[in-house]
Amino acid sequence: MKRISNIIILSAMLLGIYLLALTACRKTNNITEESDRLLRYPYCFSCDSGKARPLNSWYFRVNGTYACGPVDTGFVFADLTGFTFWGHTQCSRDTGFEISAILHPTSLATNRFNIRTNNVILWNQDRLLFTNFLNSMILRLDHNTPKNSMQLTVDTFLVSSRLLVGHFNGYAYTSGDEKMYLDGGFRLAIPR
């Protein structure tokens, strides 16, 4: 009987040590998190908020920090009522950013200016090739977060050059479901 109680005590101690180790080893690979409320990006010299953003780039501010990067790929939906683009952060190729916007019933078949939508999906993911996709989210706005949290405005879409310029602002959510206010923009030429 004493042997069984010793095994139970030892098992409880090992479980406690394991849980403590999991808490202590919380991932802070590319993004520093003192807590979800203090989400901060490391300083990146290439992401100077005072510089104009070049073509095929995006940026955003969150909690006094600034993130930016190139647009790797972008496309307009086949029915011309929305678009998606994505890329990595300037100083960390394994941290990605993606935005999708649905503009329906507005179509991008003609030149457009000042189109606003709240139908936005935003993902900011660390460790792009990490197998557990949801656990690598830094910021997200998707079907699991409150609707109409963010507004995206297409400032300009020119059919001839496929130039898409816009900005967004509103709330995205951390992996711990904390609300973070973001404001940012994008400027890209969408391939045909």
- Residue-averaged pLDDT of the chain: 77
pLDDT of 42 > 70? The answer is no
Q: Which residue has the tokens 């606003």?
A: 116
DSSP bridge partners of 100: 84, 121
Lowest pLDDT segment from 7-16, 33-42, 53-62, 111-120: 7-16
pLDDT of 94 > 60? The answer is yes
Query: CA–CA separation, 138 vs 121, rounded Å?
Result: 14
Exposure of 161 in the CB half-sphere (CA atoms within 13 A): 12
pLDDT class of 20 with cuts at 50, 70, 90: very low
Residue-level pLDDT at 137: 64
Every domain of the chain and the residues it spans? 2-189
Q: Contact, 44 vs 88, CB < 8 A?
A: no
User: Strand 112-117 vs strand 150-158: parallel, antiparallel, or unpaired?
Assistant: antiparallel
CB-based burial label for 70 (10 Å; 0-12, 13-18, 19+): middle
For the ranges 7-11, 27-31, 93-97, the maximum mean pLDDT occurs at: 93-97
Lowest pLDDT segment from 27-31, 44-48, 105-109: 27-31
- Any residues with CB less than 8 A from the CB of 46 and at least 6 apart, and which? 68, 90, 91
The reported pTM is 0.74
pLDDT of 175 > 60? The answer is yes
Q: How far is CA 148 from the centre of its chain?
A: 16
